[in-house]
Homo-oligomer: A and B are copies of this chain.
């Protein structure tokens, strides 16, 4: 997806919620698009030093409500933001237990099917109405294996 497309579609989703694609939000999306992985707010502040923290959080909250970005949690409990899956494509994450870096992971149909069965089992046995799931794969990345 081109950057123009991304911004246009983000503007649409925001408009659905009577919100606007302001300069702050636009710059935020540009930084997130260029980022190699999910970013924390303190990290975003490096690229957006002139924007107050509270504005960053509020902009991210708006973008999350408009489903343009999603918020993850890293192992330290800090929020990490990335573009939503309709932009980046469906994926999960692997996290290195040594360096803490998180990478995107594309999953096969077989795994998705297995997860689907797990979810319906759980829904039945625990009488839950399932709304979502998160898979965390842990290991040591190739770089850290060499050290």
List A residues at the B interface (Cβ < 8 Å). 73, 75, 77-79, 92, 94, 96-97, 103, 105-108, 110-111, 114-115, 117-119, 121-123, 125-142, 145
Q: Which of B118, B131, B145 is within 8 Å of A114, CB to CB?
A: B118
How many Å lie between the Cα of A54 and that of B37 in the bound state? 34
Q: Which of B96, B121, B127, B136 is within 8 Å of A108, CB to CB?
A: B121
How many Å lie between the Cα of A133 and that of B97 in the bound state? 12
Q: How close is A42's CB to chain B, nearest CB, in angstroms?
A: 14
Chain B residues with Cβ under 8 A from A106's Cβ? 122
Q: Are B127 and A141 in contact (CB under 8 A)?
A: yes
Copies of this subunit: 2
How many Å lie between the Cα of A136 and that of B71 in the bound state? 14
How many Å lie between the Cα of A73 and that of B121 in the bound state? 24
Q: How close is A19's CB to chain B, nearest CB, in angstroms?
A: 22
Q: How close is A137's CB to chain B, nearest CB, in angstroms?
A: 5
Q: How close is A120's CB to chain B, nearest CB, in angstroms?
A: 9
Q: Which of B75, B78, B97, B126 is within 8 Å of A103, CB to CB?
A: B126
